[in-house]
């Protein structure tokens, strides 16, 4: 029997919160949201998949390389569950003993995952940047409130992954803030 995955809020994660603003008075209110599949302009396709078996809602996994065997590294996007206004990004390793097929790192990510993530950020560049150069890769999503479920009320948001090459102190995930 497969091991159930932990709730994404209990593992090493990056949390994205959504709110809606009432345009007539400027007040924010909480409503459930839907989020589109990730996209962006990339040299190497994202090749994401939507595995099943996760008790914590809909997920999308993005491979960090062409390796898809047991032990391969993935980004895991936990889309908002019904009635919720948050999305989680977790860092996972393919593991067939887990219910959804991916183990989420609980307290951080290992150095070899960071190395693979840095290569993924380069998006197919044939040559590593010179020391001290920062690069990033940005995923673009569209979010729409369920109560205000009209296309004109949808907005785009981004989640960016960045690394400084040849330097210390990688900034792995950002939304304009240092993580």
Distance CA 32, CA 178 (A): 28
**Closest to 62 (Cα-Cα) out of 33, 32, 40:** 40
Three-state secondary-structure class, residue 14: strand
The model's pLDDT over 2-17, given as tens digits with 9 standing for 90+, comes to: 899 999 999 999 999 8
Any idea what the Cα angle at residue 46 is, between residues 41 and 48, rounded to 5°? 140
Could you tell me which residues come within 8 angstroms of residue 92 by beta carbon, excluding any fewer than 6 positions away?
61, 73, 74, 75, 76, 102, 103, 104, 105
pTM of the model: 0.85
In this structure, are residues 64 and 74 in contact, taking their beta carbons and an 8 Å threshold?
yes
Residue 104: partners with Cβ closer than 8 Å, 6 or more residues away:
5, 6, 8, 11, 12, 13, 76, 90, 91, 92
Write down the domain spans for the chain. Answer: 8-174
145 within 8 A of 23, measured Cβ to Cβ: no
Q: Which helix (H) or strand (E) holds 43?
A: none
**105 vs 8: CA distance, rounded Å:** 10
pLDDT in tens, the chain (179 residues): 789 999 999 999 999 988 888 888 988 887 888 899 999 999 999 999 998 877 777 999 999 999 999 999 999 999 988 778 899 999 999 999 999 999 999 999 999 999 999 999 999 887 777 777 889 999 999 988 877 767 777 889 999 999 888 755 444 444 433 33
Q: How far apart are CA 113 and CA 124, in angstroms?
A: 17
- Taking only the tens place, the pLDDT of each residue in 37-67 is 999 999 999 999 998 877 777 999 999 999 9
């Amino acid at each position: 029997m497969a091991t159930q995955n932990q709730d994404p809020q209990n593992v090493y994660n990056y949390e994205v919160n959504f709110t809606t603003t009432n345009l007539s008075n400027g007040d924010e209110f909480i409503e459930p949201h839907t989020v589109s599949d990730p996209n962006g302009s990339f040299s190497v396709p994202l090749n994401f998949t939507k595995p099943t078996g996760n008790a914590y809602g809909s997920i999308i996994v993005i491979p960090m390389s062409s390796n898809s065997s047991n032990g391969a590294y993935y980004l895991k996007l936990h889309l908002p569950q019904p009635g919720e206004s948050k999305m989680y990004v977790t860092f996972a390793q393919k593991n067939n003993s887990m219910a959804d097929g991916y183990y989420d790192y609980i307290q951080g990510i290992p150095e070899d995952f960071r190395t693979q993530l840095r290569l993924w950020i380069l998006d197919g560049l044939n040559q590593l940047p010179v020391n001290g150069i920062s690069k990033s890769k940005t995923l673009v999503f569209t979010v729409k409130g369920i109560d205000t479920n009209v296309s004109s009320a949808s907005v785009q948001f981004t989640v960016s992954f960045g690394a400084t090459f040849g330097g210390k102190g990688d900034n792995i995930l950002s939304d304009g803030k240092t993580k």
